[in-house]
Structure formats: C-alpha cells, structure tokens
Amino acid sequence: MFDWVLLVILVILVNFLPGIHANLLAILLAPFFSVEQLAFALGLHFILSILPSILYSVSQEVAAAPLINRLAQKDAYSTTYVFVMSAFIAALAALLFPPDYQALYHFLRPYLFYIVLFIATYHFLSLNGKGIFLLSGLWGYYALHEDRMFSLFSGLFAIPYLLFYKPATLSFSRSSPSLHPSPIITGIILGMFSLLLPGVSPPSVISTLVPIYTNYHFLSYYSAIASTQYILAIDNYLQTNKLRNAYVEYIPSYSAKYFLILGIVVGGFLVFFLLPHLPTIPESARWPLLVLILSTSFLLEGIMGLFSLLISSVIGITAARIGASPSSMLGIIILPTLILLARQLG
C-alpha cells in the first residue's frame, strides 16, 4: 500500500515539472514499479496535466496551453470539469470499442507518407511561427538521433515557461457546464485513427484538422483525442508493433489499460482537490524547478545534455518572445518523421 501512496505523491510532484512527459516518466519509474503501477501512474499523470496547463502562463499570452489558461482565468472549475469528464468518457469508449489496427495499418500503409505530408503541411500553414517550426525540426533531427529526449523537450517547453511564469489568476464559480457529445465523439474517432500516423499524431497537431470554434467544445474535443490515444496506444502497439507512444514499451499488456483508466479516475478526484491550491504556489517556486531541470539533464545525459538543453532553450525562449504558438515547436517531431518516411519510400 505504501508504494502506491508514494507513487501518487511522486506523480503529483513531477507533474509540476515541465518537460517530464509521459515517455520520460515511464523511463524514470519503470525500474522501481510494476507494470500495473506504471500504467496507473501514466493515467494519473495525464489527467493531472490540466493543473500545470492552468498554472503556467508566460509573456504575451504564450502558454503551455493558451486556451486552457485563458478559460481557467474565467472559471478554473468549469475548465477542469470539461477536461476531466471528456477524458473519462473517451477512455471508456476506447476501452469498449478498440479498432482493428492491424487491418487498418495494412490498408493505409501505401498512403501513410502522403497523409502525414498533407497533415504536416496543413499544420505548418496554420502556424504563426513557421520559422520556429523549421528550426525546431532541424534541431530535433539531430538531437533525437542522439537520444537526448529530456534536455530537448525541457529546453523547448519547460525553460521558457518557468522563466516567464506569472502567478495564475483563477476564478472558481463551481458551475458545471453541459458536455456536448459531438466534440467528444469527433475526438474519440480522430484519436483512434491518428495513432496510425507517425509524427503527426500528437493532439496539438491532429486537433487542427477539425475546426471547432467554441472554446469549451474544443477543450472537450482535445481532451477526448488525448485520452483515446492513451488507452489505444497499447492496442496499436500489440497489433502492429508500431510504437507511436514510447511509454507503451513499458506497459505492453492489454490489462494495463484498466490501470490507465484507474489512474484517470483517481486523478479526476485529486485534480479537484488540488485545484483551489494553485494560486498559493509562489512565483519563486520556479528557481528550484530550474535547478532540478539542469541537474536532471546532467545526470541523465551528461555535458552534452546540458548543451542540448541550452540550444533547445534558446529556440523555446525565442518562440515565447516573438509570440509563436507552442505547437510551432512540434516541428521537432514532424520533420524528422517526414525525413524517415521519405527515406523508406525511396
């Protein structure tokens, strides 16, 4: 029992450290916890991710998740309610209705490069930071080959957020907005099929395909995409042997899906308990977090990890300064994937 309590505490603390994504969390926790506990931790980490998205904001309204931050300033409770409930509904649907990924992959395989190229081009044209997209893509092509995941993502995302962090101004009305089924269903379907697409499957990329103009509807749609992917990434890997989400390698079991959902449910309760305490986090909390990122980068990746962190931070800070959207830095994944697919095609 103690190890489960310790796991929950660790995930809560780690969740406020930008740059610790699900893949890295799996790498860090795998040596110490069972597959079931790791799956639970990943589900918990996903649902608690709404908290730092609400908390972290930076200059010129560039934020970890600008829409979430903006909505939370109007009503943090409603924002969290929409995110959590949409995620739970999508996770349950993904558990009950998994697609046949093997059949779908064989059907789409000849067209994958062209589908990914179309989505990448569409995403690129919709960005307000095209130069950052290209720059992060070129840097990502180098750094990903050197396996410096932590320093790469921490520099692009964590360092800018912490340097420009301002205390959140939140509103708590305790109202529960109605959930509309159409954005959730759309998110579930898109989340299911996006796992077949290398490089462009992240929710911040794939969500641009369907225009949804109502803010809470978009949040519901985005949450459904992410939650569906968390559950079905296991099915996709076990059926096609294609690893779209690296954390699945540490929980390669259909039974792990139940513990993922358990983590989402427990996280749903925890998130409402922790939410009112967000404004009490002092602005000075950024400094120990920055020291922790530097230390972790050095311990995991050595001197070259610190160098990678520096270059990535320059790109991330530049993006924040010029007002480029955070999704413009996803060139780090998309461009290397396109290069790899083009080579396979050739």
pLDDT for 101-158, tens place per residue?
899 888 888 887 888 888 888 878 777 778 888 888 888 777 666 667 778 778 877 7
Dihedral sign, CA of 153, 248, 82, 265?
Answer: negative
Q: Is 104 contained in some domain?
A: yes
Residue 107's alpha-carbon distances to 100, 102, 152, 252, 318, in angstroms, are 11, 9, 34, 24, 42
Contact between 152 and 140 under an 8 Å Cβ cutoff? The reply is yes
Statement: residue 63 has pLDDT above 60: no
Of residues 220 and 166, more confidence is placed in 220
Does residue 19 contact residue 150 with C-beta atoms inside 8 Å?
Answer: yes
The pTM assigned to this predicted structure is 0.84
Cβ(257)–Cβ(70) below 8 Å? no
Give the H or E element holding residue 117: helix 112-126
**Is residue 332 pLDDT above 60, yes or no?**
yes
Count of structural domains, the chain: 1
| Average pLDDT of the segment spanning 86-90 | 95
171 within a domain of the structure (yes/no): no
Q: What is the pLDDT of residue 21?
A: 78
Task: Let me know the angle formed at the C-alpha of 263 by 255 and 204, rounded to the nearest 5 degrees.
Answer: 100
> pLDDT tens for residues 237-251?
999 888 778 888 888
Q: Is residue 336 part of a domain?
A: yes
**Lowest pLDDT segment from 125-139, 184-198, 291-305, 324-338:** 324-338
Residue at 106: amino acid letter = H
Looking at the domain assignment, is residue 106 inside a domain?
A: yes
Q: In this structure, what token pair is assigned to residue 150?
A: 């932590």
**Is 231 a domain residue?**
yes
The arithmetic mean of pLDDT across residues 301-312, rounded, is: 86
Q: What token pair was written down for 15?
A: 């969740």
Is 172 inside any structural domain? no
Token pair recorded at residue 27: 């790498």
* Residue 60: predicted pLDDT: 40
Q: Looking at the domain assignment, is residue 148 inside a domain?
A: yes
> What is the chain's mean pLDDT, rounded?
81
- On whether residue 291 sits in a domain, the answer given is yes
Q: Hey, what are 148's tokens?
A: 């410096």
Structural domain for 238, as ranges: 2-165+179-345
What is the torsional sign of CA 336, 250, 21, 126? positive
Q: How confident is the model at residue 326 (pLDDT cuts 50, 70, 90)?
A: low
* Predicted pLDDT of residue 344: 62
